[in-house]
Amino acid sequence: MKTTKITRDEVRIQVDEVRDQVPYRKCPRCLKMKPLDEFGLRRMGTVGKHGGDILANQSHCRSCR
């Protein structure tokens, strides 16, 4: 019998505010509220509870990196 292991990546996103259905996050460096698009995702490499990696949003916005 063959067993197939299903792994699923988890995404953890921190959002400070939602305006017009757009999630915003406050950058801790420039202290500006920016849409989540300005923060990329990073792969944390931690094994989540479904066996996949955990993806989290970057803490600093694009212009601060």
Q: Which residue is nearest to Zn ion (CB)?
A: 27
Whether 7 contacts 20, CB under 8 Å: no
In this chain, which stretch among 3-11, 14-22, 26-34, 50-58 interacts with Zn ion, using CB under 5 A?
26-34
The only residue of 8, 12, 29, 65 in contact with Zn ion, by rule CB under 5 A? 29
Q: How many helices (H) and strands (E) does the chain have?
A: 0, 6
> Is 30 a residue that touches Zn ion (CB under 5 A)?
yes
| Cα 47 from Cα 49, distance rounded (Å) | 7
> Is 36 a residue that touches Zn ion (CB under 5 A)?
no
